[in-house]
Amino acid sequence: MKKILITLILGMFLIMTVSQLSFVNADGNLGIFKQNECIPLYQYCDDCTYVNLTVVQYPDGTIGNINTAMTKNDVDYNYTFCSTGNLGIHYYTVKGDKGGEVSTERMSFEITTTGRIAEVKIAIFMLLISLVAFIFALYSNNYAIGFISGVLFLITGVYLMIYGFGDISDMYTQAMAYIVIAFGMFIILIAGWEWVDSME
């Protein structure tokens, strides 16, 4: 039983580590950025004499006409964009003389509250592992497993506090994290008290 529990805990931390390495870097997609933070829009063009950022399309369908020159940095053209209050996928269009011919290109980026890919499965997996350990401790009347389940609930609560639930990190996910932490502390106190009491 100890080997199964250790394997589950190690698996949980391995999944959390691997998920932090995932990222988006497809053609035409800049990736995912955090809400209300300035982000660099760029266009690669080594033979352009100019590149202009023409429009930005917000997730609600509205269009922002920018029509401004992007700053050249070696072979990249950059523009710092700060209107990132809307959540969702944004599109921006650039116009330049690539290869001596005037052309336009459309690219995209996504804005989330956390600036990360939605990873709901990690939070759910952590909650399930904590709950399974708690139920096992109740049925086996094992105070050590109960103590461990309390620690798992604490870790889950801290994870929810830092990363939120998927791509959502707001007052409600923080409230849920406080409840999970409080429940974990309650389990630790009760299991520890009963464990010490049983030793006497």
Instruction: For residues 190 and 141, state if they share a domain.
Output: yes
Query: Are 132 and 39 in contact, with CB atoms under 8 Å apart?
Result: no
* CA–CA gap between residue 35 and residue 134 (Å, rounded): 36
Question: Domain range for residue 160?
Answer: 2-21+117-199
Cβ count within 10 A of residue 74: 7
Dihedral, 158, 161, 167, 173 alpha carbons, nearest 10: 120
Confidence of residue 166 (pLDDT cuts 50, 70, 90): low
Q: Which is it for strands 103-112 and 29-34: parallel, antiparallel or unpaired? A: parallel
Q: What is the pLDDT of residue 169?
A: 65
Give me the number of domains the chain comprises. 2
Q: What is the pLDDT of residues 71-96, one digit of tens each?
A: 888 778 888 888 888 888 889 988 88
Q: What is the pLDDT of residues 113-133, one digit of tens each?
A: 777 775 677 888 888 999 899
Instruction: For residues 151 and 137, state if they share a domain.
Output: yes
Instruction: For residues 34 and 106, state if they share a domain.
Output: yes
Mean pLDDT (the chain, rounded): 79
Of the three residues 56, 77, 112, the one that is the final residue of a domain is 112
In the block, residue with structure tokens 């401790």: 137
Q: In this model, does residue 148 exceed pLDDT 50?
A: yes
Alpha-carbon distance values, 23 to 18, 32, 117, 119, 142 (Å): 11, 8, 7, 11, 41
Instruction: For residues 86 and 53, state if they share a domain.
Output: yes
Q: What is the pLDDT of residues 14-61, one digit of tens each?
A: 454 444 433 333 346 788 888 888 888 888 888 888 888 888 888 888
Query: Are 33 and 39 in contact, with CB atoms under 8 Å apart?
Result: yes
Of 163 and 154, more confident:
154
Sheet holding 71-73, edge to edge: 39-44, 76-81, 71-73
CATH number at residue 62: 2.60.40.1930
Instruction: For residues 53 and 73, state if they share a domain.
Output: yes
Cβ count within 10 A of residue 49: 10
